[in-house]
Amino acid sequence: MSKKMQSELVSILSDLIALPSPYPPGTSIEICAYTAKRLKKAGYKVEIATHKKGVDNVVARMKGKAKGPVIAFNAHVDTVGVGERSNWKSDPYKALVKGGLVYGLGAGNCKGSMAVQIWIAEEIARRGGPASGELIFTFVADEENLGPEGMEYLRKSGKVRPDALILGAQTENNLIVAERGVMWARLTTKGRAAHAGNPAAGDNAILRMMRLVGALNSYYDKALADRVSGAMKSTVNIGMFHGGHNTNVVPSACTVEIDRRLLPNEKVKDAFKELKQVVDGVGEPKSMYGVEFLTGTNGFFAPENGAAVGAFEAAVKAHSRRKVKFLNATGVSDGRYYADDGIEIINFGPGSGAQGHAANESVPIAQMVDAAHIQLDVVKRLLG
């Protein structure tokens, strides 16, 4: 590997690790200012896009001379918090280079990919920019919070509408081209408080909730059994269950929040309708329960014969002399905001997912170098 290229990548990543951007509090001003300054110097048209004070995002553009597709890269600038400082063997905000790895908070998720994308942006500019189409680099906040002020804002505002979206992710330089959708809902039940010594005088909201959740559980056990697509499964999880305020009181209120993961061919609105129909069918008095939609985004699937996916397959084979693997995504990425746009959405980058959100997280330098070579080749294949 080129020592100069390796040194440049490690230097950029070291700078990024030294710029704290944890959520909470979620500030991204300093790290976005650093990135914007570099890309502006490289010749990009750069915008600091902000919808909420303190939550900055960077959008950098460079157009080719001929018509062509719009290719957007993305990496999130925010990290989780340090957690228990005693679990860290080194300063989480100072890059430690050891044994071919770079250690530090966010090294894997997602500053390793961010460093690679900054290097790619600068290298493409050094080579004269794309020959055709438009190249966009986006560096966004509010990802760890699953919030609306980052990539969702860029999509809704119309600032970034690509033909292919390449998101930095810990895939060990393999591809994730399909992702499940997610739907969150809240159930509430009411009751009538009474002394626990005479529970018959009250109406237990927790027991009412148990009847609703029991019906949902029985339904989903059967309904989701066959909803499988490759390694992806349609799932449900009761994530929160709150009720009552004292042991010796019959509870008058209860709340449950539900997480549904959806196959790419399932839609959020249909999943909520399905859940509500099951709850309504239990037969509880309508005035004593509620079903509320909280949030949700549809899943996506980039066809394996798409132009961008094909470019990645060819580039990986050319530079790594191997066939790229298609991985299954457990979580969700910022690509979900573009799920209904009919574009290719690809997650790719250095590092292992097991390193994300963990103390002493790291990213292999060799994988960063390979990721840079591969994605540089992808841009060449797509934009010239």
CATH number, domain of 257, equals 3.30.70.360
Give me the pLDDT at residue 194, please. Answer: 96
Q: What is the CATH number of the domain that holds 68?
A: 3.40.630.10
164-168 and 232-233 beta bridge pairing: unpaired
- Is the predicted pLDDT of residue 331 greater than 90, yes or no? no
Q: Which amino acid is at 30?
A: E
- Residues 319, 279, single domain; the answer is no
Closest to 102 in 3D by CA, of 17, 190, 3, 197: 17
d(CA 29, CA 19): 10
Instruction: Tell me which of 250, 274, 297 is where a domain ends.
Output: 297
DSSP 259-278: EEEE-TTS-HHHHHHHHHHH
Closest to 97 in 3D by CA, of 7, 160, 192, 164: 7
Contact criterion met (CB below 8 Å) for 86 and 133: no
Give me the pLDDT at residue 1, please. Answer: 52
d(CA 124, CA 4): 16
Contact criterion met (CB below 8 Å) for 154 and 160: yes
Could you give the C-alpha distances from 278 to 219, 240, 281, 284, 321, in angstroms and in order? 8, 19, 5, 11, 51
Average pLDDT over every residue of 361-372: 97
- Residues 321, 350, single domain; the answer is yes
Task: Tell me the two tokens of residue 156.
Answer: 């809704």
- Residues 131, 277, single domain; the answer is no
- Residues 128, 238, single domain; the answer is no
Q: Is 142 exposed, middle or buried (0-12, 13-18, 19+ CB in 10 A)?
A: buried
pLDDT band at 29 (very low <50, low <70, confident <90, very high): very high
Average pLDDT over every residue of 44-69: 96
- Residues 200, 127, single domain; the answer is no
- Residues 46, 187, single domain; the answer is no
> Sign of the C-alpha dihedral, residues 313, 319, 321, 327?
negative
Task: Tell me the two tokens of residue 227.
Answer: 């909803």
Share of the chain above pLDDT 90, in %: 90
Average pLDDT over every residue of 261-276: 97
Average pLDDT over every residue of 233-251: 96
- Residues 286, 187, single domain; the answer is yes
- Among the listed ranges 8-22, 121-135, 196-210, 299-313, which one has the minimum average pLDDT value? 299-313
Q: Is 63 exposed, middle or buried (0-12, 13-18, 19+ CB in 10 A)?
A: middle
Average pLDDT over every residue of 293-318: 92
d(CA 42, CA 57): 18
Backbone angles phi, psi at 21, to 5 degrees: -145, 45
- Is the predicted pLDDT of residue 306 greater than 70, yes or no? yes
Task: Tell me the two tokens of residue 67.
Answer: 């018509």
- Residues 293, 307, single domain; the answer is no
Which residues constitute the domain of residue 286?
A: 181-297
Give me the pLDDT at residue 357, please. Answer: 81
Instruction: Tell me which of 297, 312, 337 is where a domain ends.
Output: 297
State the Cα angle at 379 between 231 and 365, rounded to 5°: 70
- Residues 248, 353, single domain; the answer is no
Structural domain count of the chain: 2
- Residues 314, 356, single domain; the answer is yes
- Is the predicted pLDDT of residue 241 greater than 90, yes or no? yes
Average pLDDT over every residue of 98-121: 97
Contact criterion met (CB below 8 Å) for 218 and 160: no
- Is the predicted pLDDT of residue 316 greater than 60, yes or no? yes
- Residues 191, 217, single domain; the answer is yes
Average pLDDT over every residue of 318-341: 91
State CA 327 to chain mean position distance.
Answer: 15
- Is the predicted pLDDT of residue 105 greater than 70, yes or no? yes
State CA 270 to chain mean position distance.
Answer: 23
Closest to 260 in 3D by CA, of 229, 211, 227: 227
pLDDT band at 2 (very low <50, low <70, confident <90, very high): confident
Average pLDDT over every residue of 220-230: 96
Could you give the C-alpha distances from 18 to 93, 94, 115, 139, 247, in angstroms and in order? 5, 6, 13, 17, 49
Residue range 67-103, pLDDT digits in tens: 999 999 999 999 999 989 999 999 999 999 999 999 9
Instruction: Tell me which of 248, 274, 297 is where a domain ends.
Output: 297
d(CA 61, CA 383): 14
d(CA 56, CA 52): 8
Average pLDDT over every residue of 194-201: 96
Task: Tell me the two tokens of residue 298.
Answer: 């549809």
State the Cα angle at 63 between 60 and 66, rounded to 5°: 165
- Residues 163, 246, single domain; the answer is no
d(CA 118, CA 372): 10
Average pLDDT over every residue of 185-189: 98
Closest to 210 in 3D by CA, of 254, 270, 240, 155: 254
Contact criterion met (CB below 8 Å) for 106 and 21: yes
Half-sphere exposure of 334 (CA within 13 A, CB side): 33
